[in-house]
Amino acid sequence: MLRILAFVGLLASASAAFAQSVYKCSAGGKVTYASAPCDGASVTAIAAPSTPQPDPQAARQFAHEKALLAALEKDRAGRDAREQRAAAKAEQAAAIRSRRCAKVALQKRWADENASRAAGFDKETLKRKAQRMGDAVALECPG
């Protein structure tokens, strides 16, 4: 959009430059051109060519391209917003998985400590519980 505005500004300044008068000055056998009449020389005003009328087809094309640009920018903004929401959702899911993994790993460590301290019949039960917690860690913490 900024590029289009710069182009329109350039066209406006170019048309203003053509509207200025140009003078042909002849002095001492030399011919010079100036934007102001020369002093003490033969001066001829040169008519600047008139600027062509704007092409209606070009105006329609410009309006069409401007509308197309607006539609593309709107689509891009929507796509960017969707991508940001998806990234935030993925980040939140990763944080939840990380917390779950840490929780299960802590429970496994506690189960191992309990199994190592136990004696008798409880020792086998607690070892089995620690082994199952190890399976849970493997499931919750892949890699």
- Tens place of pLDDT per residue across the chain (143 aa): 566 656 655 555 555 445 567 777 777 778 777 777 777 666 666 776 777 888 889 999 999 999 999 999 999 999 999 999 999 999 999 999 999 999 999 999 999 988 888 887 788 888 888 999 999 999 888 87
Edge-first strand order for the sheet with 22-27 is 30-34, 22-27, 42-46
The reply to whether 42 falls in a domain is yes
Rounded Cα–Cα distance for residues 93 and 87 (Å)? 10
Q: How many C-alpha atoms does 81 have within 13 Å on its Cβ side?
A: 6
Q: Which domain holds residue 42?
A: 21-50
Among candidate residues 99, 123, 101, the one with its CA nearest the CA of residue 112: 123
Domain assignment present for 39: yes
Residue 24 pairs with which residues in a beta bridge?
A: 33, 44
pTM: 0.48
Instruction: Indicate whether 33 belongs to any domain.
Output: yes
| 71 domain residue, yes or no | no
Alpha-carbon distance of 75 to 25, in angstroms, equals: 58
Is position 41 within any domain? yes
Examine residue 112 and state whether it is found in any structural domain, yes or no: no
Number of domains in the chain: 1
